[in-house]
Structure 1
Amino acid sequence: MRIFEFIIRFFVFVGWLSQCMEASKKRIDPYAENELWDSLKESRIQNVIEKNENGEINTPPTDGRPYLKVVCISDTHEQLDKVEVPDGDVLIHAGDFTNSGKRDELIRFNNEMAAFPHKYKLVVAGNHELGFDKKENKSQRNANDQGQGTDDGYELLTNVTYLQDQSITIEGVHFFGSSYHPLYGFPFYRDRRTEMPNCWKAVPNDTDVLITHTPPLGYLDQFGEERWGCKDLLYTVERIQPAFHIFGHVHERHGILSNNQTTFINAAQCSRNNLIQTRPIVFYIPTKVSL
């Protein structure tokens, strides 16, 4: 009887496993960590923050303290000229400013960024900046991307500060940028299980504004039924508690959430079909030095 019961359970398990494998094949990211987020979400705070008609999510300090006005954009996909970018002190672009990292588009983007009045312009690459990732295994690229891009294309970005595992301090405010993500077949892809845990070790503990291309798991990261965010990035944000975390990548989830320590901003400008549909997000952050 026990043997018969064991056989029945075995075949039930095999059927369940087969269904899971078939479901994963239909995913763009077969290792999307939906189930992990389901187990974490009850213990995570997610407060929605609205922006006003000017894209602002907070107001400048009213006590006379100096501050930076920070403008956030992402995922413009060769359409930066269609984005109404407000003035400010710092302009952040969180990646995917091109479709495939073509040289002429990088030059165009560099020139467009130069025309903006912001004193500081910070850029991280996205998964569409082909050629930017020195450690990319190009044999893993999607068929349409083979042979595309510009090797070391970031060298053409002379009018911005390009950040890859790098920090910059602006008037006492610490910014850090990095481009890793877990979406196979693109530059800066790193395996969720074996590589992503090490990707965020370079983020300094005193980071005030974190800029990545990928979202953290569970925060403005849902593409269809898949969670494209990174769990190790989530744990890093929760550990260092930056005031702001800026990202893009998932076009459909443009918006702002807060966990009461960090404000998460998905600044993607394009819709799912790569049409500009949103306006930049603006925040104010007090400086840490007297001006």
Structure 2
Amino acid sequence: MYSVWLAQWMEAAKGRIDPYAENELWDSIKDNKTQIEIPKLNEEGAINTPPTDGTPYLKVVCISDTHEQLHNVTVPDGDVLIHAGDFTNNGDENELIKFNEEMTRFPHKYKLVVAGNHELGFDHDEDQSDRLDSDKGNGTANGFELLTNVTYLQDKHITIDGIKFFGSSYHPLRGFPFYRTRASQLKQCWEAVPNDTDVLITHTPPLGYLDQFGEERWGCKDLLNKVEEVKPRYHIFGHVHERHGCISNGDTYFINAAQCNKGNQIQTRPFVFYIPKRTSS
């Protein structure tokens, strides 16, 4: 369970989960960053309204961090459903099969999924010797192959009605699948993000944007730099349960769609946005 993992990490790190969190860097740059809080407009969690001039659009629903509790989430209908990772607790085969089956109950034509740090076994390049003892031996090698009812995105994109969605799972939290170092590796990872990305889906937040866990900033500076360069219209993520919300920097809506709270209890709080299509349906 998430709570067991958290307690073990706190003990192993002697109070700090991410000893390399870049709090000082954020403090040095935050005064030059725009952050506008975007409230939800209705009970579905919409942050904007659909076009009223007849322009065709996609209704996109965003969730993340359901940790084997997807059945407790009230998911609005729509065209695209995004899950930004941590749909399991440790990536075991039975968890993946359950998640794959549960996704079939949603009516969305497109269901886009990225893995989170708890999807053990999904990352071919993971150094499993870094895992907590309780995680060693857990997970399912190539478990993403069991996700037959969704579109799994790892350094891949899908274009839907002219809108490009790109997904990737890398993050800076050591000891888990898709961990990469802040020193150099993450910057290289984010080079895969296409310059014409409209909707970016990651598990980790960017530095400074809905990324604060206690006193630590779990976000990635190189991801923030890439978002500011590419300027996707939306950036969807999760990972930090405590910072569920939506803010904008004027170019991009940043959405932390985590469904669980700090205690790993489902709050059933999806986000919805409307984005005009670029091609006719």
Q: Under TM normalisation by the shorter chain, which class is it? A: over 0.9
Contact preservation (8 Å) 2:83, 2:114 = yes
Corresponding residue for 1:167? Answer: 157
Moved over 3 A (4+): none
Larger radius of gyration: 1
Q: What code does the residue aligned with 2:184 have?
A: T
Which of 242, 246, 260 is matched with 1:256 structurally? 246
After the TM superposition, which of the residue ranges 277-286 and 143-152 deviates more from structure 2?
A: 277-286
SS at match of 2:274: strand
2:32 counterpart (40, 43, 58): 43
Identity of aligned residues (%): 73
1:29 alignment counterpart? 18
Partner SS for 1:26: coil
Q: What TM-score, normalized to structure 2?
A: 0.94
Q: Given residue 89 of structure 2, which amino acid in structure 1 is its aligned partner?
A: N
Amino acid at match of 1:27: R
The partner residue of 2:182 within 184, 188, 192 is 192
1:26 CA drift (Å):
3.3
TM-score scaled by structure 1? 0.91
Of 283, 286, 289, the residue aligned with 2:273 is 283
What is the root-mean-square deviation in Å for CA atoms of aligned residues? 0.9
For structure 2, the 5+ residue unaligned runs are 1-12
Deviation at 1:278, TM superposition (A): 3.8
Equivalence for 2:226: 236
Structure 1 unaligned segments of length 5 or more: list them. 1-23
Aligned with 2:82 (options 92, 105, 113): 92
2:92 to 98, 102, 108: 102
- SS in structure 2 of the partner of residue 273 of structure 1: coil
The one of 50, 53, 56 aligned to 1:60: 50
CA deviations on 1:199-244 (whole Å, 9 max, x unpaired) are: 1000000000000000000000000000000000000000000000
What is the DSSP-based 3-state SS (H/G/I as helix, E as strand, rest coil) of the residue aligned with 2:140? Answer: coil
- Is the contact between residue 181 and residue 189 of structure 1 (CA under 8 Å) also seen in structure 2? yes
How far 1:25 sits from its partner (Å)?
A: 5.6
Structure 2 letter corresponding to 1:91: L
**1:82-139 deviations in whole A, cap 9, x for unaligned?**
0000100000000000000010010000000011100000000000000000100111
Count of aligned pairs: 268
1:207 aligns with 2:197: yes
